[in-house]
């Protein structure tokens, strides 16, 4: 529920597209965790989960940073 709220909030907010992309990738990372744990083991799950998690963090940071620097100027 919290991840859905984050993605929805990022989609409707007046924010850069990078924040929305980061929220989507973060949701994808969490979905991989759930699928791997509760449905069926995913080959190289650890690698896929961590790559998508760090990509999400990068996109969220860049989106927030670009927004804050635009307001500072």
User: pLDDT tens across 15-60, in order?
Assistant: 789 999 999 999 999 999 999 999 999 999 999 999 999 999 999 9
Positive/negative CA dihedral, 47, 49, 52, 54: negative
User: pLDDT tens across 61-72, in order?
Assistant: 998 887 556 555
| Residue-wise burial string across 19-49, b where 16 or more C-beta atoms lie within 10 A, e elsewhere | bbbbbbbbbbbbebeeebeeeeeeeeeeebb
pLDDT value of residue 71: 59
- The pTM is what? 0.81
14 DSSP assignment: S
pLDDT value of residue 9: 81
């Amino acid at each position: 529920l919290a991840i859905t709220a984050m993605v929805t909030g990022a989609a409707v907010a007046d924010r850069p597209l990078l924040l929305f992309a980061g929220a989507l990738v973060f949701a994808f990372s969490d979905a991989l965790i759930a699928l791997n744990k509760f449905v069926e083991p995913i080959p190289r799950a650890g690698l896929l989960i961590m790559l998508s998690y760090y990509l999400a963090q990068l996109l969220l940071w860049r989106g927030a940073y670009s927004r804050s620097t635009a307001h500072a100027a």
